[in-house]
Amino acid sequence: MKHEDTLKRLKTIEGHLRGIIRMVEEDAYCIDIIRQIQAVEAALNKVSAQILEGHLNSCVITAVQGEDPAERQRVLKEVLEVFETSTKV
Amino acid sequence: MKHEDTLKRLKTIEGHLRGIIRMVEEDAYCIDIIRQIQAVEAALNKVSAQILEGHLNSCVITAVQGEDPAERQRVLKEVLEVFETSTKV
Amino acid sequence: MKHEDTLKRLKTIEGHLRGIIRMVEEDAYCIDIIRQIQAVEAALNKVSAQILEGHLNSCVITAVQGEDPAERQRVLKEVLEVFETSTKV
Amino acid sequence: MKHEDTLKRLKTIEGHLRGIIRMVEEDAYCIDIIRQIQAVEAALNKVSAQILEGHLNSCVITAVQGEDPAERQRVLKEVLEVFETSTKV
C-alpha cells in the first residue's frame, strides 16, 4: 500500500537526518554535510511526488467529477500552489 | 486572455535573455550575469505555473470528467511528471 | 556560535519531520503533508546556506591562500558541485 | 575558450525559447510547452554553473589571495547569495 511505503520512506529520511545531526556534532567536513542535506531533499521530493500521485488519483478525481464547482476550483488551485512552491524550494 | 499574457511574458523573457547574451559579449561581471539568469528562470517558472493553471482548468477537467479511464490516467500522470521535473530544475 | 545554531536548526527540522510522519500515520490531508515537506526543504536549504557560508569563510579561504594548487582546485570544485546539485533538488 | 562556449549555449537557449513562443502561438499542448520551458531552465542552470566555475577560478582566487579583507568578504558573500537563490528558483 502506498501509505505504508510513504511512511517507510519518511522514517528512512528521519534516520538520514539524525545521521546529519551527528555529522555536525562530530564536526564532519562541511561539504559532506551539505551533500547529505541535498540527498535528504531529493528523498523528500520523491515522497512529495508519491503523495501527490495518490492525491491526483483520489481526491482530485473525486472533486473534479463532483457536483461542487467551488470544491473543484479549490482542489485544482491546491495542485497549482504545490507546483509553484516546488519551483521555489 | 491568458494566451496573450503568456506570449507577452515569454517575449519579455526573450528580451531579457538577449540582454544576458549582450552582457556575456561585453564581459560583464560573472555574478551579475548569473543573477540575471536566475531572474529569467524565476520568470519562466511563473509562465509554467500560468500554463499549468490553464491546463488544470481545461484539459484536466475534461479528461477527468470524460469516459476514457486511460486518457484520465495519462493526463494526471503528465501533471505528476511536470511536478517531478520542477523539483529537479 | 554558528555550529550551535546549525544543530538547533537541524533538531527543529527533525521535530518537524516527525510531525509529518505523524500526519501520514493519522491520514492527514495530502496537500497539507506536501506543504509541510516543502517547508522542511526550505528550512534545510537555509541550513545548507549557513554551512556553506562557514565553509567559504574558513576552508575555502585557507585552501585558496595555501600553497597547494591541487587542494585549491579540489575545494573550489566542491563549491561548484554543491551549486550544481542545488539547481537540481 | 569558456566565453565562446557560454555564448554558444545562450544563443542555443534563445533559439529554444523562440521555439516555445512559436508553440504558444500555434496553440501547442500545454504540457509539451511546460516540458520545453523546463528544458530551457535546465540548460540555463548549466550555463550558470559554467559561469560560476570561471568566476571561482579567477575573481574568487584573486580576491581571496588579495590584500583587501572587505573585497574578499564581498566576493565570498556573492557566491553564497548565488547559491541561496539557486535553491529558490
Query: What proportion of chain D, given as a percentage, has pLDDT over 90?
Result: 93
Among chain C, residues having any CB pair with chain D shorter than 8 Å are: 45, 48-49, 52-53, 56-57, 60-61, 64-65, 72, 76, 79-80, 82-84, 86-88
Point out the least confidently predicted range of A61-65, A84-88, C51-55. Answer: A84-88
pLDDT band for position D2 (50/70/90)? low
Q: Which helix (H) or strand (E) holds D79?
A: helix D69-86
pLDDT digits (tens, 9 = 90+) for B21-72: 999 999 999 999 999 999 999 999 999 999 999 999 999 999 999 999 999 9
Structural domains in chain B? 2-86 (1.20.58.1000)
pLDDT (tens digit, 9 = 90+) per residue, A60-70?
Answer: 999 999 999 99
The DSSP 8-state label assigned to residue D88 in this structure reads T
Give the pLDDT confidence score for residue C89 in this predicted structure: 62
Put simply, whether the predicted model's pTM sits higher than 0.90 gets the answer yes
Mean of pLDDT values over C26-30: 96
DSSP letters spanning chain C: -HHHHHHHHHHHHHHHHHHHHHHHHTT--HHHHHHHHHHHHHHHHHHHHHHHHHHIIIIIHHHHHSS-HHHHHHHHHHHHHHHHHHTT-
CB contact under 8 A, C89 and B89: no
